[in-house]
């Protein structure tokens, strides 16, 4: 057997995050104030975020140093392994080489602590006592709950109602780390009460939960808000994934022809892909980058590039992004982490410029791919991550048709240990393949 | 920050298992045939086990080579990390150094694949098509389901009824790997029907589930039985844990004063401790070995050393061990993997000879310790593993009282991602501290 796992030692862990803005051929358009339609300034973000995070949000510096305190916390679970999916390759009878970066071997079981830790750190350093946030499937909420515990902060999580009841273990995990968790929409906020008034049966959405978390944060100087994806500084923190992977691909003496990651808001995708794109920009390297999104929430493949709110109630600045409309309420699929109406500004600009590709995938295909992966590689993937695996299988097929042997790299963003009801539904044939009707889309974008 | 994680590369992975029988000052007494009371011979085990496993069960050779095919499968998740619990140390304000070997970062989330893989391999090599087994909390069943998937075998699991309903995610995990799972006692076997007749409300026990799995296995030449703990060959396979740890303690330039592991049947304990005991036997090294068992099933601290059956129905040979009686039905605590009436022959002999210690721990203490560990080290431990952590906290206290700084090493056998209901019960104050009444014990031993 050739080498299966490529491991870095702690002192090989990257010491800087990579800021893709510095290298992008077309810089992202600025966020706008919804009233004045003028670009927002740093001080307008201050009620929500710690100063250092705002600085990173607006930064154009190529590398930003990771403070030692954050590096220390990263070492609780980083560097993460790069693994050759040799057993999957055998099962597929392919001569493609498949590698995955495994981000599930940590406290919350996903890539989310990579940004939760710095966000908690910078807020704590600024004297903030409490963070509020939203969570979809619960990975992000768990990560932030853990990070807050590490810095002795309080944590209040608004969890999309559909997931809250689908994934009770996630709530308990957050409670175990000391966080308070509420199903969203809730009666605790004006935004929540508005959503409930217009639809008492609402399953919730990430957009709604964001509105609730923001509303709670702005009520006190000791509370700030924390977002698990979409924003520049969040994507920035995740670039540690791809930077490690570059070193590990060198160890494997290989280089990817195709890089695949799931895309909800964009942080998992950005984490793996952006540091490789750096080599496309500066070293003329050639490879395809593919985002895998759910067919039920296909902002990249069917959304429109436009200025839209990041949340449902319209509390955030307007962001230039591919969106299904901030009022869009996706079907209650199991990949809760991908149920977001828009894609991050950075990913949206890259798609617009043709630098990345996107495909939409049906739920049943994801679980089929996830089950094959479990039986071969032994890791039961999170439903979000299974989107990437389904896309990898499609890429293997494509390589076969082209008569080529490719090196395929993907981000296994998390494990599915707390998503087993989803696998049960799949095994019992209860999962629906919820696609997006054009009509629904048009209506959402008109609002 | 000093080094947090001590990692081995794949080519540093041990290539032999360590057989402690070769070094034990008093060899274990032989298993007896229940009818003749004579030592059993290899051929009497053949209806149950593959030939190679029987050879290992009876072997007195010090090192047994790990076949390359098994090493390849081990590399799906091994070597596993040794981690310095630096954040826990800080929270405890101790100058003890605490290390844990983390066996939860693999398919089933526990140490169990270390023996599931060789058992499936040797059976598959001998042409066996199907394995039957029991499982308590589900770690073992998951591991065997995964291992059978790797070698294209069928797998049939009898899961202790209490756990079957407490831990539904475990069942789905086994199904995902392709196994069939039945709550035990079931109507599928004569043994199960007998148990149900005498107690229709039975929560089941490992002993009962073993009887059912054995009964199914002996019905066909193409089916064999597989046990997840207790037997010599199972403990043998787990010694890869301690052998890796010895190399990693060298990397850390440290050596344990105390080694702690949970004990259900004994395989997790043996896996870490036996390779260190080798240095006690041959190099005169000095350290304490401590088994942590549940107060509700305290065979080591309150059981009797005697010949007893390994299962409830009395299908197995008689084994010389510390036991609460094979009819003993422990309370339905959350650490299902520790609910076994006896301790392995090897661990029992070592306890009898004063080479290891044992402590019984209440359920609530375990979850208290587990929660502290989660908040500090970020890993939510399985309830079984939390027993070891509770004991580590006691050892830290003891060191403080003695005015000493010690190096404490423990086996974090698995994560608790699929045990979250247990944490929820703990948080809501619903957990009972079920101790063992003397009366119950006497009754069980009289039967």
Residues with Cβ within 8 Å of B340's Cβ and at least 6 positions away in sequence, in order, are: B136, B205, B206, B207, B229, B230, B264, B265, B297, B299
The per-residue pLDDT for A53 is 98
Residues with Cβ within 8 Å of B156's Cβ and at least 6 positions away in sequence, in order, are: B130, B131, B132, B133, B179, B180, B182, B213, B216
Q: Are B61 and B132 contained in the same domain?
A: yes
Any domain includes A88: yes
Any domain includes A3: no
Nearest to B86 by CA among B21, B167, B1, B16: B1
CA distance A90 to B278: 39
Q: Which two three-digit tokens encode residue B401?
A: 């009282």
Any domain includes A72: no
Of A200, A215, A232, the residue that ends a domain is A232
Task: Quote the minimal CA–CA distance from B33 to chain A in Å.
Answer: 39
CB atoms within 10 A of CB A197: 9
Any domain includes B364: yes
Structural domain boundaries enclosing B302? 79-109+240-446
Residue whose pair of structure tokens reads 């499968």 in the numeric block: B73
To the nearest 10 degrees (0 to 180), the angle between helices B232-251 and B345-352 is: 70
CA distance A167 to A161: 10
Say whether residue B2 is in contact with chain A using an 8 A CB cutoff.
Answer: no
Q: Contact, B195 vs B103, CB < 8 A?
A: no
Say whether residue A165 is in contact with chain B using an 8 A CB cutoff.
Answer: no
Task: Quote the minimal CA–CA distance from A252 to chain B in Å.
Answer: 13
Nearest to B375 among A178, A420, A423 (CB): A178
CA distance A74 to B195: 51
Task: Give me the residues of A, 69-98, that contact B with CB < 8 A.
Answer: 71-72, 75-77, 87
Is the CB of A150 less than 8 angstroms away from the CB of B87? yes
CA distance B300 to A28: 66
Of the pLDDT bands very low, low, confident and very high (cuts 50, 70, 90), residue B437 is low
Sign for the CA dihedral angle at A246, A249, A254, A257 comes to negative
Is the CB of B75 less than 8 angstroms away from the CB of A1? yes
State the burial class of residue B222 (Cβ atoms within 10 Å of its Cβ: 0-12, 13-18, 19+): exposed
Task: Give me the residues of B, 106-145, that contact A with CB < 8 A.
Answer: 106-107, 109, 113
Contacts of A106 in chain B (CB under 8 A): 378
Nearest to B417 among A1, A177, A417 (CB): A417
Q: Are B315 and B253 contained in the same domain?
A: yes
Lowest-confidence region among A164-168, B227-231, B280-284: A164-168
Q: How far is CA B401 from CA B302, B395, B406, B410, in A?
A: 26, 10, 12, 20
Total length of chain A:
447
Phi/psi at B360 (5° precision)? -105, 140
What is the b/e burial string over B121-130, where b = at least 16 CB atoms within 10 angstroms of the residue's CB? Answer: bbbbeeebeb
Any domain includes A262: yes
Of A198, A232, A266, the residue that ends a domain is A232
Is the CB of B4 less than 8 angstroms away from the CB of A76? yes
Q: What is the rounded (10 degree) CA torsion for A304, A308, A313, A314? A: -170
Of the pLDDT bands very low, low, confident and very high (cuts 50, 70, 90), residue B446 is low
Q: Are B93 and B39 contained in the same domain?
A: no
Is the CB of B175 less than 8 angstroms away from the CB of A424? yes
Any domain includes B287: yes
Q: Are B261 and B324 contained in the same domain?
A: yes
Assign 3-class secondary structure to chain A. CCCCEECCCHHHCCCEEECHHHCCCCCCCCCECCCCCCECCHHHHCCCCCHHHHHHHHCCCCEEECCHHHHHHHCCCCCCCEEECHHHHHHHCCCCEEEEEECCCCCCCECCHHHHHHHHHHHHHCCCCEEEEEECCCHHHHHHHHHHHHCCCEEEEEEEHHHHHHCHHHHHHHHHCCCEEEEECCCCCHHHHHHHHHCCCCCCCHHHHHHHHHHHHCCCCCEEECCCCCCHHHHHHHHHHHHHHHHHHHHCCCCCCEEEEECCCCHHHHHHHHHHHHHHHHHCCCCEEEEEEECCCCHHHHCEEEEEECCCCCCCCEEEEEECCCCCCCCCCCCHHHCCCECCHHHHHHHHCCCCEEEEECHHHHHHHHHHHHHHHCCCECHHHHHHHHHHHHHHHHHHHHCCCCEEEEEECEECCCCHHHHHHHHCCCCCCCCCCHHHHHHHHHC
Contacts of A417 in chain B (CB under 8 A): 109, 169, 173, 415, 417-418
pLDDT, mean over chain B: 94
Q: Are B61 and B94 contained in the same domain?
A: no
Q: Are A285 and A420 contained in the same domain?
A: yes
Instruction: Provide the pairing of β-strand B97-102 with B82-84.
Output: antiparallel
CA distance A22 to A16: 14
Q: How many CB pairs under 8 A join A and B?
A: 128
Q: Are A37 and A182 contained in the same domain?
A: yes
pLDDT at B370 over 60: yes
Any domain includes A5: no
Nearest to A423 among B7, B176, B415 (CB): B176
Nearest to B378 among A146, A377, A427 (CB): A146
What pLDDT, in 10s, does the model give residues B22-34? 999 999 999 999 9
Q: Are A414 and A283 contained in the same domain?
A: yes
* Domains held by chain A: number: 2
Any domain includes B71: no
Q: Are A258 and A381 contained in the same domain?
A: yes
CA angle B351, B353, B358 (to 5 degrees): 25
Say whether residue B302 is in contact with chain A using an 8 A CB cutoff.
Answer: no
Report CA A141 to chain centroid distance, whole Å.
12
Question: Does the predicted model carry a pTM greater than 0.90?
Answer: yes
Is the CB of B374 less than 8 angstroms away from the CB of A176? yes
Is the CB of A417 less than 8 angstroms away from the CB of B418? yes
Contacts of A374 in chain B (CB under 8 A): 107, 176-177
Say whether residue B169 is in contact with chain A using an 8 A CB cutoff.
Answer: yes
Contacts of A71 in chain B (CB under 8 A): 1
More reliable by pLDDT, B331 or A382:
A382
Task: Give me the residues of B, 6-25, that contact A with CB < 8 A.
Answer: 7, 9-10
The per-residue pLDDT for A434 is 73
More reliable by pLDDT, B239 or B107:
B239
Q: Are A262 and A386 contained in the same domain?
A: yes
Task: Quote the minimal CA–CA distance from A171 to chain B in Å.
Answer: 9
Nearest to A378 among B106, B175, B415 (CB): B106
Q: Are A48 and A137 contained in the same domain?
A: yes
Q: Are B184 and B49 contained in the same domain?
A: yes
What is the b/e burial string over B191-212, where b = at least 16 CB atoms within 10 angstroms of the residue's CB? Answer: bbeebbeeeeebbbbbbbbbbb
- Along the 447 residues of chain A, how does pLDDT read in single tens digits? 689 999 999 999 999 999 999 999 999 999 999 999 999 999 999 999 999 999 999 999 999 999 999 999 999 999 999 999 999 999 999 999 999 999 998 878 999 999 999 999 999 999 999 999 999 889 999 999 999 999 999 999 999 998 899 888 999 999 999 999 999 999 999 999 999 999 999 989 888 999 999 999 999 999 999 999 999 999 999 999 999 999 999 999 999 999 999 999 999 999 999 999 999 999 999 999 999 999 999 999 999 999 999 998 899 999 999 999 999 988 878 888 888 999 999 999 999 999 999 999 999 999 999 999 999 999 999 999 999 999 999 999 999 999 999 999 999 999 999 889 999 999 999 988 877 655 555 665 654
What pLDDT, in 10s, does the model give residues B155-167? 999 999 988 998 8
Residues with Cβ within 8 Å of A415's Cβ and at least 6 positions away in sequence, in order, are: A104, A105, A109, A110, A379, A380, A381, A382, A385, B417
CATH number at residue B264: 3.40.50.1100
Task: Quote the minimal CA–CA distance from B143 to chain A in Å.
Answer: 9
Contacts of A107 in chain B (CB under 8 A): 374, 378-380
Nearest to B297 by CA among B206, B233, B368: B206
Phi/psi at B264 (5° precision)? -105, -75
The per-residue pLDDT for A443 is 62
Task: Give me the residues of B, 208-237, that contact A with CB < 8 A.
Answer: none
Of B210, B232, B254, the residue that ends a domain is B232
């Amino acid at each position: 057997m050739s080498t299966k796992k490529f491991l870095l030692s702690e002192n090989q862990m990257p010491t800087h995050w990579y800021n893709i803005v510095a290298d992008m051929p077309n810089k992202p358009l600025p966020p706008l104030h919804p009233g004045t339609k003028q670009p927002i300034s740093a001080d307008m973000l201050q009620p929500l975020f710690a100063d250092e995070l705002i600085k990173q949000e607006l930064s154009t510096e190529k590398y930003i140093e990771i403070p030692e305190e954050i590096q220390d916390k990263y070492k609780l679970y980083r560097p993460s392994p790069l693994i050759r999916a040799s057993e999957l390759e055998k099962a597929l009878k392919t001569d493609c080489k498949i590698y995955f970066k495994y981000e599930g071997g940590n406290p919350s079981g996903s890539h989310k602590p990579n940004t939760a830790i710095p966000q908690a750190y910078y807020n704590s350093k600024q004297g903030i006592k409490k963070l509020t946030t939203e969570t979809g499937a619960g990975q992000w909420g768990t990560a932030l709950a853990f990070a807050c515990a590490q810095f002795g902060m309080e944590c209040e999580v608004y969890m999309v109602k559909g997931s809250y009841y689908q994934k009770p273990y996630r709530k308990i995990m957050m409670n175990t780390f000391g966080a308070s968790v509420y199903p969203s929409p809730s009666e605790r906020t004006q935004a929540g009460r508005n959503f409930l008034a217009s639809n008492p049966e609402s399953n919730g959405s990430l957009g709604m939960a964001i509105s609730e978390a923001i509303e709670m944060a702005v009520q006190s100087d000791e509370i700030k808000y924390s977002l698990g994806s979409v924003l520049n500084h969040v994507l920035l923190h995740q670039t540690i994934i791809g930077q490690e992977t570059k070193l590990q691909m060198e160890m494997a003496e290989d280089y990817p022809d195709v890089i695949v990651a799931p895309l909800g808001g964009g942080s998992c995708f950005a984490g793996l892909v952006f540091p490789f794109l750096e080599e496309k920009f500066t070293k003329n390297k050639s490879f395809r980058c593919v985002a895998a999104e759910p067919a039920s929430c296909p902002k990249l493949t069917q959304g429109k590039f436009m200025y839209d709110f990041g949340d449902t109630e319209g509390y955030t600045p307007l962001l230039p992004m591919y969106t299904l409309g901030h009022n869009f309420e996706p079907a209650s699929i199991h990949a809760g982490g991908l149920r977001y109406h828009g894609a991050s500004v950075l990913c949206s600009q890259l798609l617009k410029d043709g630098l990345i590709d996107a495909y939409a995938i049906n739920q049943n295909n994801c679980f089929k791919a996830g089950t094959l992966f479990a039986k071969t590689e032994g890791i039961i993937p999170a439903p979000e991550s299974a989107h990437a695996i389904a896309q990898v299988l499609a890429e293997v097929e494509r390589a076969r048709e082209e008569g080529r042997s490719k090196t395929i790299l993907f981000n296994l963003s998390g494990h599915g240990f707390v998503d087993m009801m989803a696998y049960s539904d799949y095994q019992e044939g209860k999962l629906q393949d919820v696609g997006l009707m054009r009509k629904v889309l048009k209506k959402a974008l008109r609002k």
